Structure 1
């Protein structure tokens, strides 16, 4: 198995143009649909299975995410499964965008509340309800606010938010 490396955005762009690589995006669906690198295939880290990655005899697999963290987590998963991966984009799609490279989006019009806005509104409402219930019925209701805070912190650090998936399933726009 070849050694994995950090690929620059220019190397990835050139390899995509020549048809030498398969670019795998390990971000979540809402991130992918909001903005993606043309030609990238979606395989979210939240249900990532290296054995489901496409195999092409001559093409190398290169992973990417938002900034390199999640694709960095997927690399050892591929290595442990015996799936050859050539590396990942150093700096992820953020570096791709900063370099002025082309991106695509499935968003046509920005109507209604976005998923991040809906998650923030739900979290804020639950904390306010928690405070009201704790004043009326006792401090045990503050645990609801603490649970919401924990969920939002977990989402911030891991990039995975169950509430975001819920709102996406309801038809809220990705971003």
Structure 2
């Protein structure tokens, strides 16, 4: 795992204009996500690289930081130098009091 030397950002320090890339599965996304996030499941990233900005601040997030760390490493190995991992993932996002939205009609939560 290469998570230790990856660029990270804390939930409190995510810039308002960052492109928040949520790489969790569909059920996790539906239960609760950042309101302005973009959903792109981890396994679809290689086929959908063109959707990820190369010229904007990109913050990658999953539940706790493991999967998003792998995606950050993958993107960096493919030429992205504008990506950071959300330290602690959506768990820390919620703990920091950042907003959540759901897609399933239930109160937003991190699963």
Conserved in 1, the CA contact under 8 Å of 2:6 and 2:69?
no
Q: Report what 2:79 is aligned to.
A: 82
CA contact (8 A) 2:75 2:83 kept: no
Match of 1:94 in 2: 91
* Larger of the two Rg values belongs to structure: 1
- Between Structure 1 and Structure 2, the one with more strand by share is 2
Q: CA deviation digits over 1:29-58, x for unaligned, max 9?
A: 11111100111101111222262333263x
1:5 aligns with 2:3: no
Unmatched 5+ residue regions in structure 2? none
Correspondence 1:111-130 to 2 at 5 A: none
Q: 1:120-166: CA deviations, max 9, x gaps?
A: xxxxxxxxxxxxxxxxxxxxxxxxxxxxxxxxxxxxxxxxxxxxxxx
Aligned residues: 103
State the TM-score, normalizing by the size of structure 1: 0.53
Report deviation, 1:4.
4.6
Q: Give the number of the structure whose residues are more often helix, by fraction.
A: 1
Tell me the residue number matched to 2:104.
107
What does the per-residue CA deviation read over 1:75-101, in whole Å, with 9 as the maximum and x for residues that have no partner? 121112112333111000001111222
Cα RMSD of the aligned pairs, angstroms, is: 2.2
Match of 1:168 in 2: none
Query: In structure 2, which of residues 53, 56, 65 is the aligned counterpart of residue 55 of structure 1?
Result: 53
In the alignment, is the contact (CA less than 8 A) between 2:22 and 2:60 conserved in 1?
yes
State the partner residue of 2:27.
30
